Structure 1
Amino acid sequence: MDHTKFHVLQFKENHLIFCVDENDTSDSELDSILKEKWEKAKENGIFRYNLEIKDWKILKGQYRFLAQLNVNRASKRRKPEDISSISQPFDTSRFNFNKISEQEIMIDVETGDGNNVIAINVSPIEWGHCLLLTDRFQNLPQKMTKSSLKKALELLIMSNSVDLRVAFNSLGAYASVNHLHWHLYYLRHRLLLESIILEGFKGPVDLLVNFPAKGFCISLSSIINKNTDDLVSCVFLIVNFLQNNDIAHSVYITRAKSKPSVKLFDDVRVYIWARKSVLGVKDTSAFIPAVCELFGHLSIKTQEDYTTLTEHQVATILDDVTAETFYSIKENIAGVIEERQLLLNITDIQSGETVMCL
């Protein structure tokens, strides 16, 4: 594979966009390249199917769930990998992202050697759906690394669109391939979790409790000086606890508003859901409660389910997936945060440096 063919996207501090106007349709460098390459892949027939959202609606009720009818994804996507353990090791004999074609790769991220790339998702859930593949030549399983989290967050903040979202499913949380990857896609709908009121918890960590999918949230605005490295450290502290304890989890990064009344999208939120584990071959029936669904973006597989689905049904499923695990580990997470704060306070006293975050 000739990696010199791919556009190399270099990260620069001045490329970060911390405040976005949803009425501003101008593209950043990242947006421009993603859109151009994704459309070219579509024209060249690289996808398993043409993305066709046959219909969409906001379900009646207080949570404003977005339901989209995407029949092709149910019938034409690659068969999900059989996952037997949250800590299942990488297996070179199974499908992995080192086996994708040159045509699927859109962007080389920073290195220029093909190790960190953005590739199309051949079974798209929405427009622009692609995959961030970090350190792919190291054959890492689907277990989040701090460096991959950093790249995922930076890519979102390099976009000038409020629509770009970044998402991660662990094994046992409907990840389809056991090779480290993140999802990126554009969603042109305003959803509740972009501005919902959160409940204070510990340090910069808030709780999402007045929503069916119970979880944790860390906002960039809660970090002193909006330091992205500190946000990454805070998020990974929780994710690392979940990984070390074999707890399935999903992570969603989105533009947000620091207050519901604010007109501009002046914040970034990272939602973390600890959840019931689903092992074995994934159920490919109508409603799969993966990371997008926990956020409120529902991909519905059949016309019948799309027609009859209600907010109550969705809320019941999301609560069942998350609530028990959330409440069982909430105090453990509090302890992890307090322990880290204590450690940093001691370091702070010894070094005389200012501690920015966890």
Structure 2
Amino acid sequence: MDNFNATTMSRVPTLISLNQLADYSPLDEMEGASPPRVEANLVHAMKPCKSTVASITRDATPCYLFPACRMPNAVPPLSAERLAASQSEQQKTMSDSDGENDSNSDTQLYGIGEYETESASGEYASTLGQSAFDDILLSHWEDRAELGLFRYDVTECATKVLPGELGFVAQLNEGRALKKRPTEFKIDQVAQPFDPTKFNFNKAGINEVLFTFGAATGIATSKYNEIDATIDGPSADLAVDSPMFDPNLVLINVSPIEYGHVLLVPSVLSCLEQKLTLPTFRLALEMIREADNPFFRIGFNSLGAFATINHLHFQAYYLSTAFAVERATLSAVTDVTFVPPSPEMNAACPMESACGGAFEESDFSSVHICTLADYPVRGMCFYITSIADIAKLAAVVSSCCERMHDANIPHNVFVCDRGLRAFVFPQCFAARQAAGEVPESVLATGVNPAVFEISGHLVLKRKEDYDNADETWARNILSEVSLDAPTFSRVVSLMLTGK
């Protein structure tokens, strides 16, 4: 394996606004480019917003839709070029119509069309640059930066790759230490009911919402609307099954770790507790699939594993290098066989109820199950080689997490490789800290070993730690998170069999 020198990172280049799509340049032609800097007075302005998510309406935010009944390998994700072409064609059509249909003038609907791009592996992927999902997400994210909605400017944070075999990434983020929202609940209970008196995403400003994200019946390709017209109006043919508006939201993380840091909040008005389930994890996998970007990863923290808000959410951002865990050696699990969940566990998944799928099958052999062989935190890797098996991956990982949730085992989940790989880490840092077993030197760093830290992106609060960090130091920090070998073996059995 290659050794990595300590080098300063550059962030993923992107667009400033949707208006720049016409001048779009593929990612590989923009190597070394940096995102625009935001004026400090804008970054720290923290504009208040009187309207909150609790009062969200269908016409309050844009909408990104993917096919609920998408056939495996049928079409690639929506690309930026196709979005731009559709936008140009739509503008031409609207101009030619001379305003004959004013009812459609406020809705911009984009589709992939009939174009298909196939990778060497036989799977569909975007080979023309960033996907339309990336461009839409990042342009809206940058708009929020210009409005001053972030607590600090994450693009000013120093970042480097540490020398060593795994290539841990260190970031100096002093602002996050001072301005991150504190935890408001007990850290020794993974299962806790939603508490409306605590902070939750229904209390977030509506200006923090980038767009809604969800499945729609009646479409064959992904769509994007500048307004959510999924019920009634010009796009009534895209109507979702339920008349109740309970959207899946993509919001900014106001205390970002990296560029493009967002939150995916499934069924925000249902006030779900922080528990990974089959339908919600499937939604997260569809999100990373739409991004179609190797730099885009998704993470989940349970309560007790450094989730700070008990309102179901996933985190995601872009990092233009591999995470350390992605380079770790894997060892196949051969002594324990996965016992699939009962069909009742999957009945609530809207995508599967609409389309059928693999959940009633008993053959999950296409989901490869491994443990990490040379990593400081004991964990598991679940991976598939074809996106056609994404439903099975969702079933296996969600089942493992629900079993840990019910057994009060804190855990973190890291998803990468466009949704083909998911790492699961049962952890015990909070319990060891409460028992006085974590060395003071580790506690003094202020490192919170949540999902992205465990996976290899260390967010540091002190300059001396950043200046002196190396791979040995990083391994020592993360080793305090890990279960011991006998406990980990028992947890693996519980995850895979329920016993």
Q: Same fold (TM over 0.5)?
A: yes
Bigger fraction of residues in strand: 1
TM-score after normalising by structure 1:
0.83
Q: Say if 2:195 is the partner of 1:91.
A: yes
- The question of 1:303 aligning with 2:463 is answered yes
Contact 2:275/2:402 (<8 A) preserved: no
Percent of paired sites with the same residue:
30
Could you tell me how far apart the structure 1 residues matched to 2:295 and 2:495 are?
33
Which whole-Å deviations, capped at 9, do the CAs of 1:225-267 have from their partners, x for residues lacking one? 74111010111121122111000000000117xxxxxxxxxx7
Q: Aligned residue for 1:348?
A: none
What amino acid sits opposite 1:97 in the alignment? F
- Aligned-pair distance for 1:284? 9.3
Q: 1:56 aligns with which of 159, 170, 173?
A: 159
Structure 1 contact 248–277 (Cα < 8 Å) conserved: no
The residue type paired with residue 415 of structure 2 is I
Please say if residues 3 and 114 of structure 1, whose CA atoms lie closer than 8 Å, have aligned partners that are also in contact.
no
Q: Answer yes or no: is the 8 Å Cα contact 1:26–1:160 preserved in 2.
A: no
Q: Partner of 2:212: helix, strand, or coil?
A: strand
Q: Report the CA distance between 1:90 and its aligned residue.
A: 1.1
1:153 aligns with 2:256: no
Higher mean C-alpha displacement, 124-133 vs 308-317: 308-317
Structure 2 counterpart of 1:356? none
User: Which residue matches 1:179?
Assistant: 311
SS state at 2:321 partner: coil
Show CA shifts across 1:318-355 (max 9, x none).
2221132x641424534663689xxxxxxxxxxxxxxx
Q: Which has the larger radius of gyration?
A: 2
Match of 2:8 in 1: none
25 and 320 in structure 1: CA distance in 2 versus 1, 3 angstrom threshold: farther
Is 1:273 the equivalent of 2:425?
yes
Indicate the residue corresponding to 2:266 in structure 1: 134
Q: Does 1:43 align with 2:195?
A: no
CA RMSD in angstroms, aligned pairs only: 2.6
Task: Provide closer, same or farther for how the CA distance between residues 316 and 90 of structure 1 changes in structure 2, counting only shifts above 3 A.
Answer: same
Alignment partner of 1:315: what SS?
Answer: helix
Quote the Cα distance in structure 1 between the aligned partners of 2:498 and 2:460: 42
Partners of 2:249 and 2:60 lie apart in 1 by 12
Between the two proteins, the alignment pairs up a number of residues equal to 324
Q: In the superposition, relative to structure 1, how do residues 163 and 37 fare at CA in structure 2: closer, same or farther (>3 Å)?
A: same
**Residue of structure 2 in register with 1:73 after alignment:** 176
Range moving further from structure 2, 72-81 or 61-70: 72-81
Which letter maps to 1:273?
Answer: F
Which one-letter code corresponds to 1:88 in the other structure? Q
**Counterpart of 1:40 in structure 2: which amino acid?**
D
For 1:273 and 1:53, the matched residues in 2 are separated by 30
Change (3 A) 1:52 1:319: same
Write the distance in 1 (CA, Å) between the matches of 2:325 and 2:445. Answer: 26
- Partner residue, 1:353: none
Q: Distance in 1 between matches of 2:297 and 2:250?
A: 14
In structure 2, what is the equivalent of residue 337 of structure 1?
Answer: 496
Deviation at 1:132, TM superposition (A): 0.2
**Contact between 2:378 and 2:488, CA under 8 Å: does it hold in 1?**
no
Give, in angstroms, the shift of residue 26 of structure 1: 1.8
Q: Given the superposition, is the C-alpha separation of residues 163 and 25 from structure 1 closer, same or farther in structure 2, using an over 3 Å criterion?
A: farther
Larger mean CA deviation between 108-117 and 202-211 belongs to 108-117
